[in-house]
């Protein structure tokens, strides 16, 4: 512990101050006084500047803890790669969810959007004889359209995203039931008519670690979104809108247009997730991923992104999804009942939001 706090205080010392070598004349106007700080305060400052460090620490600690609790079985290559496979879909949904939550919104409809897109892909290619690639394209368009629809409702009607997506969640779910008549599209039918839909479920074995192509795609999506958020003006505007929408507007950002585009990009990411989900599950089931909406929010929140917008990192959500995966896997290998997995997850969410609130106080 001492070593950690030493490291942190060293980091703080090394951080350049706002003004160090200004002329004498202005000295007293500018001194940026860090003042006397307790170790706790220093940690708070450090976490404030590096929000992703919290999920990383939790991930490492939980992996170590479950290594002790669940023993070698947990650390087996098979199990570790299984965790990655299991979080693929929630991870992709969390990537989309992160975009929305960064704008101080929330999207309760992501999983329903995903199932709707996968229904389009499956229905068209398996039952209506459309070539697979165009069918997938229709699924992508469905994702973009449903995302943009959410965005338009949020910006045009000025409704809170929570309410908009609570409504569209039900609407999209109803559409799924309407198009499928509650019937699943069987895995064997997909295999015969449109094997390309199963592409992301293919596995490769890397020295005992078994990964699906979908897991690599998930990582790819996170890397791509990281570039988008950090290296482009569009990404900076996502943060600016979530931070202070009015200030963003006055700075010349067309916030409404931006918001619609953010929801649409999130929709596209969700549609990619739809394709991956067919490979993962095998079939297209209208009632699958019913908890995906909340799971994605859980991953984002545990990943250190603030529900109040403007703060957080996309990579944090990947760690968030992995933490959830590690918890579920570790607790089940340890032989604990599912109810305790839920219990632990619930505690984790509350702790994560609590830490976020505490870190945010630093600027006050």
Where along the sequence are the contacts to other proteins (CB under 8 A)? Answer: 15-22, 26, 28-30, 32, 49, 231-234, 236-237, 239-240, 243-244, 246-248, 250-253, 310-311, 363
Q: Which is nearer to other proteins, 125 or 305 (CB)?
A: 305
Nearest distance in Å: CB 228, other proteins: 9
3-state SS assignment for residue 309: coil
Q: How far is the CB of 205 from other proteins (least distance, A)?
A: 34
Q: How far apart are CA 174 and CA 196, in angstroms?
A: 27
Q: Closest distance between other proteins and the C-beta of residue 60, in Å? A: 26
Instruction: Give bridge partners of residue 211 from the DSSP assignment.
Output: 204
Between CA 151 and CA 147 the distance in angstroms is 6
In the bound state with other proteins, the residue whose beta carbon lies nearer, of 174 and 362, is 362
Q: In angstroms, give the least distance from the CB of 40 to other proteins.
A: 18
The distance of closest approach from Cβ of residue 164 to other proteins in the complex, given in angstroms and rounded to an integer, is 24
Long-range contacts (CB closer than 8 Å, 24 or more residues apart) made by 222-225: 222/91, 222/95, 222/314, 222/315, 222/317, 222/318, 225/95, 225/98, 225/99, 225/269, 225/314
CB of 28 to other proteins, least distance (A): 7
Q: How far is the CB of 364 from other proteins (least distance, A)?
A: 9
- SS3 annotation, 185-207: ECHHHHHHHCHHHHHHHCEEEEC
CB of 101 to other proteins, least distance (A): 14
Q: How far is the CB of 162 from other proteins (least distance, A)?
A: 22
Q: Give dist(CA 8, CA 202) in Å, integer.
A: 44
Q: Select 205 or 251, whichever has its Cβ closest to other proteins.
A: 251
Task: Compute how many other C-beta atoms are within 10 angstroms of the C-beta atom of residue 96.
Answer: 31
**CB-wise, 220 or 346, nearer to other proteins?**
220
Residue 251 or residue 287: which is nearer to other proteins going by CB?
251
Torsion angle, CA of 352/357/360/364, rounded to 10 degrees? -160
Q: Pairing mode, if any, of strands 209-212 and 203-206? A: antiparallel
Considering beta carbons, is residue 93 or 315 the nearer one to other proteins? Answer: 315
Q: Which is nearer to other proteins, 11 or 243 (CB)?
A: 243
Q: Which two tokens stand for residue 223?
A: 């890397």
Q: Which is nearer to other proteins, 216 or 239 (CB)?
A: 239
CA nearest to 213, candidates 272, 169, 173, 159:
272
| Token digits of residue 261 | 């585009």
Pair 80, 215: CB distance under 8 Å = no
Measured from the CB atom, the residue of 240 and 271 that comes closer to other proteins is 240
The values of phi and psi at residue 210, to 5°, are: -105, 120
DSSP 17: P
Query: Would you list the DSSP string of 88-110?
Result: HHHHHHHHHHHHHHHTT---TTH
């Amino acid at each position: 512990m001492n070593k950690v706090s030493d490291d942190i205080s060293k980091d703080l010392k090394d951080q350049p101050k706002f003004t160090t070598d200004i002329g004498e004349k202005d000295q007293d106007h500018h001194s940026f006084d860090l003042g006397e700080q307790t170790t706790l305060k220093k940690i708070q400052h450090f976490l404030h500047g590096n929000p992703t460090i919290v999920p990383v620490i939790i991930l490492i600690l939980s992996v170590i803890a479950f290594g002790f609790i669940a023993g070698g079985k947990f650390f087996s290559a098979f199990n570790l790669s299984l965790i990655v496979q299991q979080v693929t879909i929630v991870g992709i949904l969390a990537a989309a969810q992160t975009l929305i939550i960064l704008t101080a919104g929330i999207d309760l409809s992501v999983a329903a959007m995903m199932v709707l897109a996968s229904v389009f892909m499956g229905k068209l290619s398996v039952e209506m004889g459309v070539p697979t690639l165009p069918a997938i394209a229709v699924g992508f368009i469905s994702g973009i359209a449903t995302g943009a629809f959410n965005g338009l409702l949020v910006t045009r009607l000025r409704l809170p995203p929570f309410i908009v997506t609570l409504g569209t969640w039900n609407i999209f779910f109803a559409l799924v039931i309407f198009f499928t008549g509650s019937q699943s599209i069987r895995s064997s039918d997909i295999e015969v008519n449109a094997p390309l839909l199963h592409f992301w479920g293919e596995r490769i074995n890397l020295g005992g670690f078994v990964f699906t192509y979908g897991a690599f795609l998930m990582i790819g999506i996170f890397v791509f979104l990281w570039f988008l958020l950090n290296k482009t003006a569009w990404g900076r505007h996502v943060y600016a809108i979530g931070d202070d929408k009015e200030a963003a507007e006055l700075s010349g950002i067309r916030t409404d247009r931006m918001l619609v585009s953010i929801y649409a990009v999130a929709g596209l990411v969700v549609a990619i997730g739809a394709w991956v989900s067919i490979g993962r599950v095998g079939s297209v089931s209208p009632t699958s991923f019913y908890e995906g909406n909340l799971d994605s929010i859980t991953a984002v929140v545990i990943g250190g992104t603030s529900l109040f917008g403007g703060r957080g990192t996309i990579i944090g959500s990947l760690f968030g999804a992995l933490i959830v995966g590690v918890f579920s896997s570790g607790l089940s290998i340890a032989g604990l009942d599912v109810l305790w997995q839920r219990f632990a997850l619930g505690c984790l969410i509350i702790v994560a939001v609590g830490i976020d609130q505490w870190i945010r106080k630093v600027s006050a």
